Chain A
Amino acid sequence: MMYKKAILVLLSALALSGCKTIGAANPIDALIPSHTEDSIKELTDIISKAVNKPVKLTEFAFTKNSRIAIEPSNSFDIRFGEIGGKQIEKPPMFRLTLEGDQCWLNFEETGQSWRLKTVKCVANAKD
């Protein structure tokens, strides 16, 4: 009984937040032909909260590939040259998909998905 109640609460919360954990049938990889300020902000806000750190996205995000990685940009130091060593962890990956005419952002690490409100996307012709 308690489990059922908990599941109901979880589903309600997910519905309210526009977030889901189980994808609908036949999502296809998608691209964003052109961004608006709102679309960049919406993606930035979702991804920043998902990875729990401030993330910078620009008008290039999801314009060429349906998957993007969030990782530190190369940084250069006058004492060492390029900072950083071999990285052996996989960075957080996000995938943009299209279901019907609705764009979704998917966080691969957790399986979470977000229904995007301001992002207009199209099917990725490469897939």
Chain B
Amino acid sequence: MKKQLSYSLMAVASAALIALSGCGGSDAVQWNEGVFESSEEFKNRCQVPRSGSDILGNTFPDVQGSTLLENNWLRSWSNETYLWYNEIIDQNPANFSDTESYFDVLKTQELTPNGNAKDNFHFSQSTESYLQRSQSGVSFGYGLQWALISSTPPRELRVAFSQPNGAAAAVNLFRGAEVLEIDGVDVINANSESDLAILNAGISPSSEGETHTFLVRDLGATETRTVTMTSGAVAESAILANDVIQTSSGNVGYVVYNTFQAFSEVELIDAFNQLESQDIQDLVLDLRYNGGGRLFIASELGYMIAGPTQTEGQTFEQIVYNDKIAPEDPVPFFSLSGAGNATPGVPLPSLNLSRVFILTTGSTCSASEAVINGLRGIDVEVILIGDTTCGKPYGFFPTDNCGTTYFTIQLTGVNAKGFGEYPDGFSPENTQGSLGVVVPGCSVADDFNHAFGDLDEALLNQALQFRETGTCSAPAIAKSNLQTAEKQANGLEIKVDSDPLGKIMIRSK
């Protein structure tokens, strides 16, 4: 009863507040440190309300409000949903003249064990841009994937690979090429918001037909050159290679898997169906450019590696929210299809392996790291070859207010052993310098000189050698050196099988 009364009082007070603030744009909101009203009180009350309808005819929900009301929404929403809400230093929203600068402070200021910012993934974008990305198995770009070797100045951006017949391949822009300028903005040193926006517009076009100019230096070249590319619709492939390597100690599967998006499920299952029929003794799973995606597909991948005996009744990941949100049932190792585009309810293939070699770089993020952590949670031996992973055990529920979509960390996850603290990533054990969670394996610089699956490619080669000898043949390379490692050779086009489902390559080592 007492609770009901207090709710009633709160409702009356809130209504009065809304009534007051709705008059002539007034926003009489009193800031009381540590006291938070429901974010619903401030939702859609905008400094500049969107008028009319979106392209589907939906009327925008915005009403006239103010920057202060938008800031109050951010404050309350963060308090309700941010994973580390109790580490936010509560600051008066009236002291911030724009939402962007206020949102920037609505995060933890704590550091990781390595001294990095604990929250490196706090950002926003226009809702219009965010919604433009809704699609099915296509992206709008140049037929290439980027590798961001260093995200802060001096920044380093390279082409991870380019697809045949794409805009990048048409201008001979291949794996390893470094991008120096985009539309006249210095990629290496740019730091202003306006310059970063220009760079992002060029890197990640949101529609077809956008033309951007790039100053590039091909791998091994001393001279730079300028290329102009126009974005187009590119059909995405998740499995870039699916090989069987015959060795004296048995067949080794090699799979390059590039995204955990829902459209990848059919390709992934087909790849493992093919491997299952090849008497695979070990698997080298190449996740070096896999930035993540659907956790349920990561769970399926974990099952297909480990098989039913090791995974039965086990937790793949327990999602963890802040203590205001009720926990959900743990995510098991799914043994049936249905997390993506495959026909639901079909038993998944499995390799029944007790260990797996995973190739990684700093672009190995999110659901990729969940596979590493989930398998370690059930004592499948994970051997990492490459570089420290990106350290993103987190997730978001992108949320719109007043035309901006906000991403704030709202969930993390732990494995069957209750472990999930890897904000500095996972590091092969002989990595020099600052480390993430140390995992058996070898530190090896990404090899831009060779195609995926080439037995001379440094990471795959090291994985096969480690499998034979249990030692790292390549010298350990400090992370800082990894970032600048470059081989002296000409650019190389990555061969991407246009129909990876149809065939499996079998070769002898």
A, B in one complex? yes
List the interface of chain A (C-beta within 8 A of B): 29, 48-49, 51-61, 64-88, 90-91, 93, 127
A86-B366, A93-B341 known; A54+B203 contact, CB < 8 A: no
The answer to whether A56 touches B395, judged by C-beta atoms less than 8 angstroms apart, is: no
Q: Residue A76 contacts which of B146, B196, B292, B343 (CB distance < 8 angstroms)?
A: B146
- Alpha-carbon gap, A66 to B265, bound state (A): 13
The answer to whether A80 touches B151, judged by C-beta atoms less than 8 angstroms apart, is: yes
- Alpha-carbon gap, A127 to B135, bound state (A): 25
Instruction: Give the residues in chain B near A70, CB-CB below 8 Å.
Output: 134-136
Q: Does B130 contact A (CB under 8 A)?
A: yes
Q: Does B263 contact A (CB under 8 A)?
A: yes
The answer to whether B393 touches A86, judged by C-beta atoms less than 8 angstroms apart, is: yes
- Alpha-carbon gap, A51 to B367, bound state (A): 25
Q: Does B216 contact A (CB under 8 A)?
A: no
The answer to whether B296 touches A73, judged by C-beta atoms less than 8 angstroms apart, is: no
The answer to whether B340 touches A69, judged by C-beta atoms less than 8 angstroms apart, is: yes
Encoded as 1 (CB less than 8 Å from any A CB) or 0, chain B from 225 to 266 comes to 000000001011000000000000000000000010111001
The answer to whether B134 touches A83, judged by C-beta atoms less than 8 angstroms apart, is: no
The answer to whether A127 touches B363, judged by C-beta atoms less than 8 angstroms apart, is: no
Q: Does B157 contact A (CB under 8 A)?
A: yes
Q: Residue B136 contacts which of A71, A78, A80 (CB distance < 8 angstroms)?
A: A71
Instruction: Give the residues in chain B near A88, CB-CB below 8 Å.
Output: 295-296, 319, 331, 395, 411
Most chain B beta-carbon neighbours within 10 Å: one of A49, A73, A83, A127? A73
Q: Does B339 contact A (CB under 8 A)?
A: yes
Closest beta carbon of chain A to B405's beta carbon, Å: 10
- A-side interface mostly: loop
- Alpha-carbon gap, A58 to B298, bound state (A): 27
- Alpha-carbon gap, A87 to B398, bound state (A): 11
The answer to whether B366 touches A84, judged by C-beta atoms less than 8 angstroms apart, is: yes
Most chain A beta-carbon neighbours within 10 Å: one of B54, B235, B298, B341? B341
- Alpha-carbon gap, A70 to B204, bound state (A): 19
The answer to whether A55 touches B135, judged by C-beta atoms less than 8 angstroms apart, is: yes
The answer to whether B261 touches A78, judged by C-beta atoms less than 8 angstroms apart, is: no
Q: Residue B407 contacts which of A49, A58, A68, A83 (CB distance < 8 angstroms)?
A: A83
The answer to whether B263 touches A54, judged by C-beta atoms less than 8 angstroms apart, is: no
The answer to whether A52 touches B133, judged by C-beta atoms less than 8 angstroms apart, is: no
Residue of A nearest to B338 (CB): A90
Encoded as 1 (CB less than 8 Å from any A CB) or 0, chain B from 277 to 316 comes to 0000000000000011111101000000000000000000
The answer to whether B196 touches A53, judged by C-beta atoms less than 8 angstroms apart, is: no
Which 5 residue pairs are nearest across A and B when measured between Cβ atoms?
A: A82-B291, A69-B262, A85-B395, A86-B395, A72-B133
Instruction: Give the residues in chain A near B411, CB-CB below 8 Å.
Output: 85-86, 88
Q: Does B5 contact A (CB under 8 A)?
A: no
The answer to whether B56 touches A52, judged by C-beta atoms less than 8 angstroms apart, is: yes
Q: Does B120 contact A (CB under 8 A)?
A: yes
The answer to whether A82 touches B365, judged by C-beta atoms less than 8 angstroms apart, is: yes
- Alpha-carbon gap, A45 to B411, bound state (A): 34
The answer to whether A84 touches B291, judged by C-beta atoms less than 8 angstroms apart, is: yes
Closest beta carbon of chain A to B333's beta carbon, Å: 15
Closest beta carbon of chain A to B323's beta carbon, Å: 18
- Alpha-carbon gap, A87 to B394, bound state (A): 9
Instruction: Give the residues in chain A near B136, CB-CB below 8 Å.
Output: 55, 57, 61, 68-71
Q: Residue A85 contacts which of B54, B236, B262, B396 (CB distance < 8 angstroms)?
A: B396
CB within 8 Å of A: which of B364-391? 365-367, 370, 390
Instruction: Give the residues in chain A near B362, CB-CB below 8 Å.
Output: 81
List the interface of chain B (C-beta within 8 A of A): 54-56, 58, 120-121, 123, 130-140, 146, 148, 151, 155, 157, 187, 190, 196, 199-200, 203-204, 233, 235-236, 259, 261-263, 266, 291-296, 298, 319, 331, 339-343, 362-363, 365-367, 370, 390, 392-396, 407, 409, 411, 413
| Known contacts A54-B56, A60-B137, A69-B137, then 18 further A-B pairs from the complex at CB < 8 Å, ordered by chain A residue | A56-B134, A60-B138, A71-B262, A73-B236, A75-B133, A78-B203, A81-B363, A81-B365, A82-B292, A82-B365, A84-B407, A85-B292, A85-B392, A86-B295, A86-B411, A88-B395, A91-B262, A91-B294
Residue pairs across A and B with Cβ atoms less than 8 A apart, 18 shown, are: A29-B343, A58-B233, A64-B266, A65-B263, A67-B341, A67-B342, A69-B262, A70-B134, A73-B135, A76-B200, A81-B291, A81-B362, A84-B407, A85-B392, A85-B411, A86-B292, A87-B395, A91-B262
A56-B134, A76-B146, A82-B363 known; A90+B339 contact, CB < 8 A: yes
Residue of A nearest to B203 (CB): A76
- Alpha-carbon gap, A74 to B138, bound state (A): 9
Closest beta carbon of chain A to B40's beta carbon, Å: 20
Instruction: Give the residues in chain A near B295, CB-CB below 8 Å.
Output: 86-88
Most chain B beta-carbon neighbours within 10 Å: one of A54, A90, A127? A54
Closest beta carbon of chain A to B475's beta carbon, Å: 27
The answer to whether A78 touches B343, judged by C-beta atoms less than 8 angstroms apart, is: no
The answer to whether B134 touches A55, judged by C-beta atoms less than 8 angstroms apart, is: yes
Q: Residue B367 contacts which of A56, A72, A86 (CB distance < 8 angstroms)?
A: A86
Instruction: Give the residues in chain A near B395, CB-CB below 8 Å.
Output: 85-88
Instruction: Give the residues in chain B near A68, CB-CB below 8 Å.
Output: 136-137, 263, 341
The answer to whether B139 touches A73, judged by C-beta atoms less than 8 angstroms apart, is: yes
Instruction: Give the residues in chain A near B233, CB-CB below 8 Å.
Output: 56, 58-60
Residue of B nearest to A57 (CB): B136
Instruction: Give the residues in chain B near A73, CB-CB below 8 Å.
Output: 133, 135, 138-140, 236
Residue of B nearest to A62 (CB): B136
Closest beta carbon of chain B to A111's beta carbon, Å: 14
The answer to whether A75 touches B363, judged by C-beta atoms less than 8 angstroms apart, is: no
Instruction: Give the residues in chain A near B155, CB-CB below 8 Å.
Output: 78
Closest beta carbon of chain B to A69's beta carbon, Å: 3
Instruction: Give the residues in chain B near A53, CB-CB below 8 Å.
Output: 56, 131, 134
Q: Residue A87 contacts which of B131, B235, B294 (CB distance < 8 angstroms)?
A: B294
Q: Residue B292 contacts which of A29, A71, A84 (CB distance < 8 angstroms)?
A: A84
Instruction: Give the residues in chain A near B341, CB-CB below 8 Å.
Output: 65, 67-69, 93
